[in-house]
Structure 1
Amino acid sequence: MRVQPSLLLTSLCLLISQEIYAADAVWQRFNSPVTAELRGLSVVSSSVAWASGAQGTVLRTTDGEHWEKIAVPGAEKLDFRAIKAFSDQIAWIMSAGPGDSSRIFLTRDGGQHWEQRFVNTDPKGFWNAITVTTEGILTVFGDPDSNGLQFWQTNAQGQNLQRLPVSDALRPLENEGAFAASGTCLFQLNPQHLWAVTGGAVRARIARSSDGGQRWEMHDLPLAAGAASRGAFSVSFRDPLNGVVAGGDYKEIHYDSANLALTSDGGKNWQSIRALPAGFLSVVTHIPGTRQTVVAGGLTGSGVSRDGGLHWQQLDSTPVNTIAFADPQHGWAIGPKGLLLRYQGPALDTQSDSK
Structure 2
Amino acid sequence: MGSTRRTGRVRRTRRVAAVGVACTAVLAALTAGSARAATPAPHWALKDTGTPDVRFRGLAAVDRDTAWLAGTGGTVLRTTDGGAHWRNVSPPGAGDLQFRDVEALDSRHAVVLAIGEGEASRVYRTEDGGTTWTESFRNTDPAAFYDCLAFFDHRHGLAVSDPVDGRFRILSTGDGGRTWRVLPNAGMPAALDGEAGFAASGQCLVTSGPEDAWLATGGGAHARVLHSADRGLTWTAADTPIPAGDPARGVFALAFRDRAHGLAVGGDYRADQPSPLAAAATPDGGQSWRPAATPPPAYRSGVTWLPHSRTAALAVGPTGTDLTTDGGRTWRTVDTGSYDTVACTPDLGCWAAGEQGRAARLEG
**TM-score normalized by structure 1?**
0.87
Q: Secondary structure at the match of 1:327?
A: coil
- How many residue pairs are counted as aligned between the two chains? 326
Inter-CA distance 211–28: structure 2 relative to 1 (3 Å threshold):
same
Q: Secondary structure at the match of 2:266?
A: strand
Whether the 8 Å contact between 1:255 and 1:279 is mirrored in structure 2 is yes
Q: Bigger shift: 252-261 or 70-79?
A: 252-261
Which residue of 255, 260, 263 maps to 1:244?
Answer: 263
Q: Distance in 1 between matches of 2:169 and 2:248?
A: 20
Match of 2:3 in 1: none
Give the unaligned 5+ runs of structure 1.
1-19, 346-355
| C-alpha displacement of 1:198 | 0.5
Inter-CA distance 189–123: structure 2 relative to 1 (3 Å threshold):
same
Q: Distance in 2 between matches of 1:157 and 1:91?
A: 9
Where do residues 302-341 of structure 1 align in structure 2 (5 Å cutoff)? 302-327=321-346, 329-341=348-360
Let me know the Cα RMSD of the aligned residues: 1.9
Which residue of 27, 51, 57 maps to 2:75?
Answer: 57
Task: Tell me the alpha carbon deviations over residues 231-274 of structure 1, each in whole angstroms, 9 at most, x when there is no partner.
Answer: 01011111111111111000146514101111111111111115
Q: Bigger shift: 308-317 or 231-240?
A: 308-317
Whether the 8 Å contact between 1:28 and 1:342 is mirrored in structure 2 is yes
Q: Does 1:68 align with 2:87?
A: yes
Which residue of 32, 42, 45 maps to 2:60?
Answer: 42
Q: Distance in 2 between matches of 1:289 and 1:310?
A: 19
Q: After the TM superposition, which segments of 4 or more aligned residues of structure 1 sit over 3 Å from their partners? A: 20-25, 156-160, 274-277
Inter-CA distance 253–138: structure 2 relative to 1 (3 Å threshold):
farther
Q: Distance in 2 between matches of 1:94 and 1:159?
A: 13
Q: Does 1:129 align with 2:148?
A: yes
Q: Does 1:31 align with 2:25?
A: no
**TM-score normalized by structure 2?**
0.85
Whether the 8 Å contact between 1:241 and 1:267 is mirrored in structure 2 is yes
Match of 1:13 in 2: none
Match of 1:6 in 2: none
Whether the 8 Å contact between 1:259 and 1:275 is mirrored in structure 2 is no
| C-alpha displacement of 1:46 | 1.1
Match of 2:308 in 1: 289
Task: Tell me the alpha carbon deviations over residues 111-138 of structure 1, each in whole angstroms, 9 at most, x when there is no partner.
Answer: 1100100011111211000112324112
Letter in 2 for 1:50: W
Q: Distance in 1 between matches of 2:208 and 2:295?
A: 25
The percentage of aligned residue pairs carrying the same residue is 34
Q: Distance in 2 between matches of 1:186 and 1:37?
A: 20
| C-alpha displacement of 1:313 | 2.6
Whether the 8 Å contact between 2:50 and 2:357 is mirrored in structure 1 is yes
Letter in 2 for 1:141: V
Q: Bigger shift: 191-200 or 62-71?
A: 62-71
Q: Secondary structure at the match of 2:209?
A: coil
Task: Tell me the alpha carbon deviations over residues 24-54 of structure 1, each in whole angstroms, 9 at most, x when there is no partner.
Answer: 4611112122121110001101100011100
| C-alpha displacement of 1:344 | 1.2
| C-alpha displacement of 1:89 | 1.3
Q: Does 1:120 align with 2:139?
A: yes
Inter-CA distance 243–253: structure 2 relative to 1 (3 Å threshold):
farther
| C-alpha displacement of 1:156 | 3.6
Q: Distance in 2 between matches of 1:203 and 1:94?
A: 27
Q: Does 1:215 align with 2:234?
A: yes
Q: Distance in 2 between matches of 1:327 and 1:157?
A: 22
Whether the 8 Å contact between 1:40 and 1:51 is mirrored in structure 2 is yes
Which protein shows a greater Rg? 1
| C-alpha displacement of 1:77 | 0.8
